[in-house]
Chain A
């Protein structure tokens, strides 16, 4: 990539600022676009269930699903809900909770300033009452139940549950119908006051907006608080998976499978994430002999895929798909990985996968993705260019090293079978 300067894709107009409030602010002006997307996120997700701050004597463990519950509740204040305010400007608002972050976002094409004010206020002004917390329980219960019927979701969570004994990544992000019964307004405030501290948060804005105006609004509305020094306990995790195989029956036409490998959380997770993807793509992806043999035999189809599920404190290389014969696919995957561990992969095929991964990470012309990726990169202590740069600089040895990290006996196979 000698002639390439990824860092120039925004013409040097991007800014990353550590604001006096403690918040990290990323600004990506893309004036030639019509819309603006803003993400205001906290480094707080479903895995952060046991924690303390410097004000606490001891750790507290909160019910599973509380980060997601909190996300639902923040849209409401004492006068109205934030959706009503956004509706007056025409902005589209949403939020999401993942294993390790929660983010609130809007997309708009007008009244940027007003929308940013709504966003900053809604996240900084919690309003929880016994009544409004109770009202949300029904909606979240329906959300959980909807995903209980979804084989793609279940095969994923069952696999995570089979891999980890103690890591909270083993539990659904939304928790369970039972666990959310324990959530009340006091617990919500406790979690809010711990994690919704600006020192723990990132505001990322991309698109057609005035950066100076954005910063002026931030100066006005971001509330400085002392850093509570959050200490999240990541439970000790045995080396071996909890269960090697989990099978569930659901309404589906043919079996779904996910094979997840347990490995210790890597020192450089961002780099290993890309290197693992390259190695798995080379060994098992659609350019490999393996893939094409099984595809041509009708054993796998276009749903077959490889990748890595990662977050703070967990890192799981996975192989998944829909197949009539998940046991055979698993046996074939394990045999192929054992073979390439012994015989290696060709330099040419790894170089092809490096180019492919670089092409996939090169995504700076989509306003929403830029805002989102800008935030996510900060949560990992990186910047928005890091992934593409790392991908382009990876070597054959980097990819081969990942094979060494893979313990082929330490996996969980999750299968969803048709129930009739």
Chain B
């Protein structure tokens, strides 16, 4: 990552534009991201705003008109997103568009897509001064359907349920789109009122990645935000998740062939030293040379997948696995044994080097993809830490065997969640 290509500028109170100019790419990516603490009271209202804004604006009054113009711009897209990262809800719009030089009819794609994005956010199509009720009702139903369809992907669903239990009473336990009951209560009036509040009070990050000169984007959004009465809230941070006194063991049933076992570990390790814990988690189950893959999957043939991931903000390690029902207990024991091996120092220096090398590959390669560059920028902004991937590699490289053991030793089992078949099917 070449920091020389990166620039960041405040364009209004609580509004910044960050640009990474990279001439290797043939498309431009622009993201406008609002952030808020996850709170059941507002989660659904926040989530519906980008869904409504991405469908039309005052110039392209219907979804069909907007989609038509986007298609004419070589499959340019204006997409809405709502994400949860720890205790934070991030939501907004992003676009991808082909560089002007590849447009065979000579359009200025970047300027037009930037204007369309601005209009979607600042000049939405309204009826009687608020969002059209029909659009709000439709997006409410879509959000409820998306919530309900979470069960389709059993792996993701199990992990989501386990984390909701592990982070109980914390903002991170709130669903990304909020609860269905809260969605049902949204009205066109309440959505529009929340939209104005968001424009005025939420922190905004505009992130541009690609080969273009983004002066035009800066100009368009500076002008747009200058018309808003900005009074931004302080930035929110994800809080470490507290460790329960008693392990939560929850089993839920579903009509499925393969059971899912999710184990959540938490730690009181020094938060500044998160890289130790990240490396310990990686050695446990981060890739195909990890203990969970080589022992639990390959040697014991207990599951098709068994992996661990570290959530830096919550300081939690999540182990996910797909297991035959009869092998659930064996898998739980085997996973715990592999963590015990780590905390007892039963790994070689070569194991440690392999994990560091693998992480280095991920970090170096993040420079090659527009999405990962954008994610890197978001991470820097959120942490207020502009360490480049190359510098991060050096930090990982300096982690010692003793630090990995200490971080692994600090991991305490907090939640065991099992999704399994109903008794009659077993």
List residues of A whose CB falls within 8 A of some B CB.
Answer: 1-4, 9, 30, 32-35, 81, 83-84, 86-93, 107-110, 135, 138-140, 142-143, 145-146, 148-152, 207, 250-254, 256, 286-289, 291-292, 295-296, 298, 301-302, 322, 352-353, 355-360, 362-367, 392, 419-420
How far, in whole Å, are A367 and B365 apart by their CA atoms in the complex? Answer: 10
Contact between A298 and B138 (Cβ–Cβ < 8 Å)? yes
- 3 A-B pairs with the lowest CB-CB distances in the bound complex, closest first: A90-B357, A359-B74, A359-B75
Contact between B152 and A88 (Cβ–Cβ < 8 Å)? no
- Contacts A146-B304, A251-B256 given: A286-B368 contact, CB under 8 Å? no
- Nearest-neighbor residue (CB-CB) of B356 within chain A: A90
Give every chain A residue within 8 A of B72 (Cβ-Cβ): 352, 355-356
Contact between A322 and B102 (Cβ–Cβ < 8 Å)? no
Q: Report the minimum CB–CB distance from A209 to chain B (whole Å).
A: 13
Partner of B360, one of A90, A143, A298: A90
Q: Report the minimum CB–CB distance from B367 to chain A (whole Å).
A: 5
- Contacts A357-B75, A365-B24 given: A322-B358 contact, CB under 8 Å? no
Q: Report the minimum CB–CB distance from B140 to chain A (whole Å).
A: 10
Partner of B358, one of A87, A138, A149: A87
Contact between B24 and A139 (Cβ–Cβ < 8 Å)? no
Contact between B151 and A301 (Cβ–Cβ < 8 Å)? no
Give the residues from 46 to 63 in chain B that come closer than 8 angstroms, CB to CB, to chain A.
Answer: 62-63
- Nearest-neighbor residue (CB-CB) of B211 within chain A: A365
- Nearest-neighbor residue (CB-CB) of B287 within chain A: A92
Q: Flag whether B68 is at the interface (Cβ < 8 A).
A: yes
Give every chain A residue within 8 A of B367 (Cβ-Cβ): 33-34
Q: What does the 1/0 interface line of B126-137 toward A look like (CB < 8 Å)?
A: 000000001000
30 contacts between A and B (CB under 8 A): A3-B104, A34-B365, A34-B367, A83-B289, A87-B289, A90-B354, A110-B364, A135-B301, A138-B301, A139-B298, A140-B304, A142-B324, A145-B304, A146-B304, A152-B153, A251-B255, A252-B149, A253-B152, A292-B62, A292-B64, A296-B63, A296-B134, A298-B138, A356-B71, A356-B74, A358-B75, A365-B25, A366-B368, A392-B104, A420-B255
Contact between B145 and A109 (Cβ–Cβ < 8 Å)? no
Q: Flag whether B257 is at the interface (Cβ < 8 A).
A: yes
Q: Report the minimum CB–CB distance from A145 to chain B (whole Å).
A: 4
Give every chain A residue within 8 A of B102 (Cβ-Cβ): 4, 362
Q: Report the minimum CB–CB distance from B1 to chain A (whole Å).
A: 9
Q: Which of A110, A140, A289, A355 has the most CB of B within 10 A?
A: A355
Q: What does the 1/0 interface line of B177-203 toward A look like (CB < 8 Å)?
A: 000000000000000000000000000
Q: Flag whether B332 is at the interface (Cβ < 8 A).
A: no
Partner of A301, one of B71, B142, B287, B364: B142
Beyond A90-B354, A91-B361, 7 additional pairs, beta carbon < 8 A: A142-B323, A146-B258, A286-B67, A302-B142, A355-B75, A357-B75, A365-B25
Give every chain A residue within 8 A of B75 (Cβ-Cβ): 355-360
Contact between A109 and B365 (Cβ–Cβ < 8 Å)? yes
**Chain A, interface SS category:** mixed
How far, in whole Å, are A252 and B74 apart by their CA atoms in the complex? Answer: 35
Q: Report the minimum CB–CB distance from B202 to chain A (whole Å).
A: 24
Q: Flag whether B254 is at the interface (Cβ < 8 A).
A: yes
Contact between A149 and B257 (Cβ–Cβ < 8 Å)? yes
How far, in whole Å, are A295 and B56 apart by their CA atoms in the complex? Answer: 14
Contact between A301 and B354 (Cβ–Cβ < 8 Å)? no
Contact between B255 and A250 (Cβ–Cβ < 8 Å)? yes
Partner of A35, one of B138, B155, B365: B365
Partner of B151, one of A253, A302, A364, A366: A253
Q: What does the 1/0 interface line of B243-270 toward A look like (CB < 8 Å)?
A: 0000000000011111000000000000
Give every chain A residue within 8 A of B141 (Cβ-Cβ): 298
Partner of B76, one of A35, A146, A359: A359
How far, in whole Å, are A87 and B153 apart by their CA atoms in the complex? Answer: 30
Partner of A362, one of B64, B98, B153, B293: B98
Q: Which of A83, A109, A254, A301 has the most CB of B within 10 A?
A: A109
- Nearest-neighbor residue (CB-CB) of B109 within chain A: A359
- Contacts A9-B26, A296-B138 given: A34-B368 contact, CB under 8 Å? yes
Q: Report the minimum CB–CB distance from B141 to chain A (whole Å).
A: 5
How far, in whole Å, are A261 and B154 apart by their CA atoms in the complex? Answer: 29
Give every chain A residue within 8 A of B86 (Cβ-Cβ): none
Give the residues from 73 to 98 in chain B that come closer than 8 angstroms, CB to CB, to chain A.
Answer: 73-76, 98
How far, in whole Å, are A254 and B360 apart by their CA atoms in the complex? Answer: 42
Q: Flag whether B285 is at the interface (Cβ < 8 A).
A: no
Q: What does the 1/0 interface line of B295-307 toward A look like (CB < 8 Å)?
A: 0011001111100
List residues of B whose CB falls within 8 A of some A CB.
Answer: 24-27, 62-64, 67-68, 71-76, 98, 102, 104-105, 134, 138, 141-142, 145, 148-155, 254-258, 287-289, 293-294, 297-298, 301-305, 322-324, 350, 354, 357-358, 360-362, 364-365, 367-369
Give every chain A residue within 8 A of B305 (Cβ-Cβ): 146
Give every chain B residue within 8 A of A140 (Cβ-Cβ): 304
How far, in whole Å, are A208 and B131 apart by their CA atoms in the complex? Answer: 50
How far, in whole Å, are A366 and B368 apart by their CA atoms in the complex? Answer: 7
How far, in whole Å, are A84 and B152 apart by their CA atoms in the complex? Answer: 34
How far, in whole Å, are A151 and B254 apart by their CA atoms in the complex? Answer: 14
How far, in whole Å, are A253 and B302 apart by their CA atoms in the complex? Answer: 29
Partner of A355, one of B74, B294, B322: B74
How far, in whole Å, are A34 and B25 apart by their CA atoms in the complex? Answer: 13
Give every chain B residue within 8 A of A90 (Cβ-Cβ): 354, 357-358, 360-361
Give every chain B residue within 8 A of A419 (Cβ-Cβ): 255
Give every chain B residue within 8 A of A392 (Cβ-Cβ): 104
- Contacts A90-B361, A251-B151, A355-B71 given: A145-B104 contact, CB under 8 Å? no
Q: Report the minimum CB–CB distance from A387 to chain B (whole Å).
A: 13
Contact between A109 and B360 (Cβ–Cβ < 8 Å)? yes
Contact between B67 and A150 (Cβ–Cβ < 8 Å)? no
Give every chain A residue within 8 A of B67 (Cβ-Cβ): 286-287, 292
Give every chain B residue within 8 A of A295 (Cβ-Cβ): 63, 138
Partner of B71, one of A253, A287, A322: A287
Give every chain B residue within 8 A of A291 (Cβ-Cβ): 64
How far, in whole Å, are A298 and B142 apart by their CA atoms in the complex? Answer: 8
Partner of B368, one of A9, A35, A355: A35
Give every chain A residue within 8 A of B298 (Cβ-Cβ): 81, 139
Contact between B288 and A139 (Cβ–Cβ < 8 Å)? no
- Nearest-neighbor residue (CB-CB) of B305 within chain A: A146
Contact between B256 and A352 (Cβ–Cβ < 8 Å)? no
How far, in whole Å, are A366 and B357 apart by their CA atoms in the complex? Answer: 22
Q: Report the minimum CB–CB distance from A107 to chain B (whole Å).
A: 6
- Nearest-neighbor residue (CB-CB) of B1 within chain A: A34
How far, in whole Å, are A151 and B151 apart by their CA atoms in the complex? Answer: 10
Q: Report the minimum CB–CB distance from A17 to chain B (whole Å).
A: 25
Give every chain A residue within 8 A of B256 (Cβ-Cβ): 149, 251
How far, in whole Å, are A108 and B102 apart by their CA atoms in the complex? Answer: 30
Contact between A146 and B322 (Cβ–Cβ < 8 Å)? yes
Partner of B361, one of A108, A252, A357, A362: A108
How far, in whole Å, are A288 and B73 apart by their CA atoms in the complex? Answer: 16
Contact between B289 and A4 (Cβ–Cβ < 8 Å)? no
Contact between A4 and B104 (Cβ–Cβ < 8 Å)? yes
- Contacts A295-B63, A301-B145 given: A359-B322 contact, CB under 8 Å? no
Contact between A364 and B26 (Cβ–Cβ < 8 Å)? yes
Give every chain B residue within 8 A of A91 (Cβ-Cβ): 361
Q: Report the minimum CB–CB distance from A396 to chain B (whole Å).
A: 15
Give every chain A residue within 8 A of B322 (Cβ-Cβ): 142, 145-146
- Nearest-neighbor residue (CB-CB) of B105 within chain A: A355
How far, in whole Å, are A145 and B421 apart by their CA atoms in the complex? Answer: 12
How far, in whole Å, are A90 and B361 apart by their CA atoms in the complex? Answer: 6
